Structure 1
């Protein structure tokens, strides 16, 4: 990683990648952390951006809990399929490879050209890990990813909710056609968060806005015959093996949120699908 300070020139939606990056960096410095990410700490220190605008809210913790669940699903998949291919859709400055790679899997990290340009200042391609500059809305990127063979685990974390529903349906169609039977991890946002995003403690600080309103992720099954929703979780209904591994302060926080039944919490879901 370069030690020089990096200026940020990102598009409106692309700027949102800095929120989970900062969330992991802040979390990594805690005595009892959900995850450790020294690379995130170093990247935050190297990037010329006012990350403190995201301080003081719960969204940083939420982004870490989401990433931790996606990591859990990735590890489980690679434990069953050690020579599989993982595709990070909208990779941003994520470091899932560093946290979950098994030394055998193949990885593709897809994002828009400006993001990949920034990402290349911190990461380099290797024989098993390669970056792809392109849009998830285009089909061309799948050609490269298909060269490494399956089975496939596709992770679209904090990506599709910024698209219009018709665009999301196109993405699901393309993924199902090109990667039939693959697992897809994706988060969905319902009206509770859509309606309050202007005052959101993180999204309210950036120009990007959520567009896909998905009150029930089971609708994705209807979009694509054969697609199945294998799991769908809110922050208050995480899988037991994930919840029980969290620091005590997070388990207490989750219990409090469960009692409050906040719409902006309960309408946000993290989902695992098998594509038809």
Structure 2
């Protein structure tokens, strides 16, 4: 079978890191999560994934995904017929993992990513791909035509934008979808300043551009907004940690004991926007 070369922009290439993490994890006996579609996609791509083999940050990517999955599941548990928007969807498969057969989903990303994504996924009555930049207001009209409430998931996306674009995105979501939830990651001290030495980012050209030492900054931008949760990879919610296979619980405990600046400077956040 001929493999496809992913023709992606510099930042967009980073989507291949979590894709590979999920594919590799799926093959393990006691997997943190399973994603057979990721395995199929990796096998079909002509790309040197070996550069990411054995990297510790793949575990971080998986833990982040598990938390975002949990937030999505909790949201749909409370609002079964709500709308979920994956901002910077990449080749993510959260829909396959947590969809409840009732919710409306949108997969939003830049045209080159959606072009690649369409080789593996198709639109349906409840799931639609949108090729646009998150900072463009036009895409919000299609989402606004669906029923709320709304959950926006921006996993490994916003830190790669300049702060002006992040602020524009937050304002856009808050203005068009007041009361919506936004899940996002932020890069602060110990992480943002060590990107060149990061085990995975050091192997690609993309670099994070938005420095955010305190997620509370978002509530300064939008008074009345609220940070509902903020976790480092070493301070994940107890119920989520308890669900992990024992070897992974031990790994997280070992990382926690080391007080690594990179682990402490990277946060996963859930914000209510007003």
Q: TM-score range by the shorter chain?
A: over 0.9
Question: How far off its partner does 1:152 sit?
Answer: 0.4
- Report matched runs for 1:9-158 at 5 Å: 9-158=7-156
Distance in 1 of aligned mates of 2:85 and 2:171: 16
1:198 maps onto 2:170 in alignment: no
Question: How far off its partner does 1:191 sit?
Answer: 2.4
Moved over 2 A (4+): none
Which of 2, 5, 8 is the matching residue for 1:7?
5
Q: Give me the CA root mean square deviation.
A: 0.8
Q: Deviations over 1:236-258 (max 9, x none)?
A: 11011111101111111111111
Per the normalisation by structure 2, the TM-score is: 0.98
Question: How far off its partner does 1:56 sit?
Answer: 2.1
Give the structure 2 partner of residue 267 of structure 1. 265
Distance in 2 of aligned mates of 1:19 and 1:147: 33
Q: Deviations over 1:23-74 (max 9, x none)?
A: 1001111100111100000000001100110112111111011001000000
Q: Secondary structure at the match of 2:243?
A: coil
Distance in 2 of aligned mates of 1:54 and 1:182: 35
Q: Secondary structure at the match of 2:183?
A: strand
Give the structure 1 partner of residue 215 of structure 2. 217
Q: Which runs of 5+ in 1 are unaligned?
A: none
Question: How far off its partner does 1:4 sit?
Answer: 4.7
Distance in 1 of aligned mates of 2:2 and 2:227: 44
1:207 maps onto 2:205 in alignment: yes
- Would you say how many aligned residue pairs link Structure 1 and Structure 2? 274
Distance in 2 of aligned mates of 1:259 and 1:114: 41
Distance in 1 of aligned mates of 2:49 and 2:176: 38
Distance in 1 of aligned mates of 2:17 and 2:48: 11
Q: Deviations over 1:79-122 (max 9, x none)?
A: 11000000000000000000000000000000000000000000
Question: How far off its partner does 1:137 sit?
Answer: 1.3
Verify the 8 A CA contact 2:192 2:265 in the aligned structure 1.
Answer: no
